[in-house]
Amino acid sequence: MSNNIIQIKIEVKKPGLKRKLDEIIHSVEGMHVQMSHDTRRAGLLIFELGDDIDNEFQHIRSLLNSDAAAEVFLISENSDPAVLMQAIKTGAKEFFTLPLKEEEVKQALKELKKKIKRANRRNSPKIGQIITVVGSKGGIGTTTVAVNLAVNLAQKKSVQSVALIDMNMMFGEIPLFLEIKPGYHWGEIVKNISRLDSTFLMNTLTKHSSGVHILPSPGSLNGSASAVPEMMGHLTGFMQKLFDFVVIDAGQSTNEISLKILEMSDNILLMSLLSLPCLSNANKLLQSISDLGFLPEERIRIVINRYLTKSEISLHDAEESIHKKIFWTIPNDYNTTMSAINNGKPLSEIASKAQITRNLNDLADTFAPKEKNQTTRWWEILKTKRR
Ligand SMILES: Nc1ncnc2c1ncn2[C@@H]1O[C@H](COP(=O)(O)OP(=O)(O)O)[C@@H](O)[C@H]1O
Ligand SMILES: [Mg+2]
């Protein structure tokens, strides 16, 4: 998404410093260094102070005041208090001394990126996160994870709304997992795509007692005959505007529609077991997704289900075979997962204390915004008052 790229203007004097900064910036995704003649507004100005400090600060202030640059990082050999004071007054967000510490700069860039992203989210209409759960094989717990992730997210205080879409054509099982009797499936929405508005959509979704809004898949192939990737893309994009999270059970499918959904995803959870066939499939899938270049490597997350510490294949072996870090492991617990499925209930309802339930709740925490801890905040205030 090119409009999310942060433009960086660099004004430095020392030979080599520009190249060093270019390298660091290049290693942080989503940033672009402007050419010297680029007059576009910069999200960040990186400026090296020299000998003519007063004039240089004047120049920086004029760039900030005219909004030619939104933020400024300073680099200087001179870190005496007077210079630091000026830097603070000017509103510099960071002050780096030479020689430059690569990690420090990288960290500051990442922080800035987060800050800009938060501000963009606040200013733009709601755009939820799409999390797609995709299996490297059938029967490995893709639906279990998608369903419980959606339910757990819906139960977080910081999350207001969650939708769950079943993309398993014909063999969608979400209604069974959550014991609901849906009136509609997405095949019907796609048939009437020109009528799609929020009222129509909300009327077709089925609300589970956890708060999750469910959109099942067509139970037969003819129900989705007219579904083309663009329409599913449009529908998913529309849902993204109404929900904080859109969790998608993509099953094991790699058809055109799933590709469209993978392309739109903010995060992909690629499910695998620690078995050779599964890892081999995961490898192929991972490679295909990377080749398509849909989303940065770190947004494709490998999840190992049914994990046993004494497995013949270690996590390390698995990581070597797929050339990627494993993001999450879910413990093996057939009885609890099966009991949840057979009762048509989420794990949090059937076995709230079980290790697997807590594990999947922690997985949801990695996506949900942090909840503000009121107790701690008041405690902090009291502590400072007592002093
Ligand atoms: N962590 C786990 N440990 C043990 N069994 C599991 C686990 N997760 C899922 N299962 C079992 O695997 C089977 C398939 O689960 P399901 O979620 O339907 O997978 P998929 O959607 O990949 O076909 C179910 O019987 C379920 O109980
Ligand atoms: Mg399934």
User: Looking at residue 381, what is its pLDDT?
Assistant: 43
pLDDT given for residue 64 in this prediction: 93
CB atoms within 10 A of CB 264: 18
Place of tokens 């009291």: 382
Domain locations in the chain as residue ranges: 2-123, 129-365
Ligand located closest to 274 CA: 1
Q: How far is the CA of 253 from the centre of ligand 2 (A)?
A: 10
pLDDT digits (tens, 9 = 90+) for 191-245: 888 889 999 999 999 999 999 999 999 988 776 656 688 899 999 999 999 999 9
Q: Is 172 in the pocket of ligand 1 (CB under 6 A)?
A: no
* Domain range 2-123, its CATH number among 3.40.50.150, 3.30.530.20, 3.40.50.2300, 3.40.30.10: 3.40.50.2300
Q: Is the CB of 347 under 6 A from ligand 1?
A: no
Give 146's pLDDT tier (boundaries 50, 70, 90).
very high
- pLDDT at residue 2, as a whole number: 40
Q: Indicate if ligand 1 lies below 6 Å from the C-beta of 92.
A: no
Tens digits of residue pLDDT in 232-284: 999 999 999 999 999 999 999 778 888 889 989 999 999 999 999 999 999 99
pLDDT at 374: 43
Residue written as token pair 């497995």: 311
pLDDT at 1 over 70: no
CATH of the structural domain 129-365, one choice from 3.40.640.10, 3.40.50.300, 3.20.20.70, 3.10.20.70? 3.40.50.300
Ligand 1, from 144, 270, 275, 306: best to mutate by most atoms within 8 Å of Cβ? 144
Distance CA(141)–CA(337), nearest Å, equals 9
Q: Is the CB of 305 inside a 6 Å radius of any atom of ligand 1?
A: yes
Whether residue 371 is predicted with pLDDT greater than 70 in this model: the reply is no
Residue 372 has pLDDT above 90, yes or no: no
Instruction: Determine the Cα–Cα distance for residues 382 and 387; give it in Å rounded to an integer.
Output: 9
The contacts of residue 129 (CB under 8 Å, 6+ apart) are 240, 244, 245, 246, 266, 267, 367
From the CB of 105, is ligand 1 less than 6 Å away? Answer: no
Contact assessment for residue 121 and residue 239, using Cβ atoms and an 8 Å cutoff: no
Measured between alpha carbons, how far is 151 from 149 in angstroms, rounded to an integer? 6
Domains 2-123 and 129-365 share a fold: yes
138 Cα to the center of ligand 1, angstroms = 9
Starting at the edge strand found earlier in the chain, the sheet holding 69-76 runs 31-33, 6-11, 42-48, 69-76, 94-97
Task: Write down the pLDDT at residue 79.
Answer: 86
Nearest CA to ligand 1 atom 27: 338
pLDDT in tens, 293-331: 777 888 999 999 999 999 999 999 999 999 999 999 999
Ligand 1 atom with the smallest distance to the CA of 337 is 27
Q: Are 165 and 187 in contact (CB under 8 A)?
A: no
Give phi and psi for 67, each to the nearest 5: 65, 20
Question: CA 317 to CA 302: how far, in whole Å?
Answer: 14
